[in-house]
Structures are given as structure tokens and as C-alpha cells.
Structure 1
């Protein structure tokens, strides 16, 4: 058993030494210039990809700034339209009197009281038309402001 173990150990050492010799021979045959060229090519590829990503980030940032400007313009125009709407509704009775809409609405209100069936529905629509018109006017004003400041 001792002899078999010694032979096994000797074969293992011999195999190890042969393997190390073969590796040393192969290391001497490696061309360092090829490795340098491959590394340089990889570095150039990475630099090219970095430039491409930086351009994409710049484009994304410009797009973000454009959307942010549109957001602030939209919020400002909505606020303006709301303030105009609130101002007109605050002085609405005087404004309706100026346009003589209040007289028309009083006449329509009396017609609603005496009408029946489908005509009642028609008179209700007629009574709401000035308000619908005012809302449409403010929506049109908002769209005009939005289109005016749109890039």
C-alpha cells in the first residue's frame, strides 16, 4: 500500500510539473500586442456608447424642459381663465343687465311656469343657453391662450 501511494504521489507530482511546463510554454507564445488591440477596441466601443448615451440624456433633458414650460404655461392660462370667469360671475348680474339677458331670462322663467311637456324642456334649455355660451366662450379663450403660447 505504501508503494502504491508513493507511485501515485510521484505520478501526481510528475503530472503537475508537466502541466506547469506546458502553461509556461503557452504563456510565452501569447502576443501582448493582440491583447492591447482588443482592449483598445473595447475601450473605444465603450467611449462611443458613452457619447451616444450622453446625447440621449441631453435630448431627454431638452424634451423635459419643453414639457415643463408647457406645463407652467398651461397652469397659468387655466388660472387666468378661472380668474376671468370668477370676475364675470361676481359682477355677473350687472354684466347680464348690460347685455339685457336678465330680461330675457325673466321672460323664459315665466314661460317655464306655464308650459307643459316637451316645451318645458325646451324652455329650460333656452334658460341655460347664456351660461352655456359663457362657458364655451371661456373654453375658447383658454384654447386660444394655449395655442398662442404653444411652441
Structure 2
């Protein structure tokens, strides 16, 4: 039994030595410069493709940011239109009663009926002044809100 294992071990050492000898001969034949050139070209290809993809991602991100800003502006404009529509709908009704402008407008309307010339124009301007002030106030409110939320854009 010991002799059989000794022969097996000796044969294993011979096979190992011959394998490493053949491997060293084959490795000496390998052209490392050519391998370095091939690997270098592949690395440059990968780097160029990564740079191209990074540029595409940046361009996509910029387009996304522009669309987000456009969306917020669109929402702001819709809000402004809604506020102006609400203003027009309420000015002719209870809103004027609430701030007691209706009494003043009735007095101005009677003055418009009795006035002539340049004073008629002045009374028309005075009659429309609450509307102009209210619309200006809503535009100011819209711009204030837009500037506050501009930080998030």
C-alpha cells in the first residue's frame, strides 16, 4: 500500500512539474504588448461610450428641468386665469357688497348719467378703478407666489 501511494505521489509530482514547464513555455510565447494594445483600445472604447452616455444623460436632465419649469409656469398661469375669472365673477356680486364699493359705484353711476365732456371720462375711470385695483392685486399676488416657489425650481 505504501509503495502504491509513493508511485501515485511521484507520478503526481511529475505531472505537476511537466504541466508548469509547458505553461511557462506557452506564457513566454504570449506577446504582452499586443495584449496591452488590445486591452487599451477596449478601455478607450468603453471610456468614449461612457462619456457619450454621460452627455446624453446631461442633455436629458436639462430638457427635463426645462419641462418642469414650463409645467410650473403653466400651472401658475392657470392659477392666474382662475383667480381673474373668480375676480370677475365675484366683483359683480357679493364681493362689492362686502367691501361696500357698490354704494360708491351707484353714486358714480348717477354722476356718469349727469356729467358731460371730460368729467364723464373721469367718472368712467373712477367706476372701473376698483376692478383695476383688484386685478392688479391678484397679479401682484400671483407674482409674489411665483417668486416664493421659484426657489424650488
Whether TM exceeds 0.5 here: the answer is yes
Give the corresponding residue for 1:142.
142
Give the corresponding residue for 1:107.
107
Higher mean C-alpha deviation, range 50-59 or range 92-101: 50-59
Q: How many residues align?
A: 119
User: In structure 2, what is the Cα distance between the partners aligned to 1:115 and 1:94?
Assistant: 28
| C-alpha distance after superposition, 1:63-91 (max 9, x if no partner) | 11112111222222222233333334333
User: In structure 1, what is the Cα distance between the partners aligned to 2:119 and 2:48?
Assistant: 73
1:102 and 1:53, CA in 2 relative to 1: closer, same or farther beyond 3 A? same
TM-score by length of 2: 0.60
TM-score by length of 1: 0.61
Asked if the contact 2:80–2:138 (Cα under 8 Å) also holds between the matched residues in 1, the reply is: yes
1:82 matched to 2:81? The reply is: yes
Give the corresponding residue for 1:4.
none
CA RMSD of aligned residues (A): 2.9
User: In structure 2, what is the Cα distance between the partners aligned to 1:114 and 1:125?
Assistant: 15
Asked if the contact 1:81–1:141 (Cα under 8 Å) also holds between the matched residues in 2, the reply is: no
Unaligned runs of 5+ in 2: 1-36
Q: CA deviation at 1:136?
A: 0.9
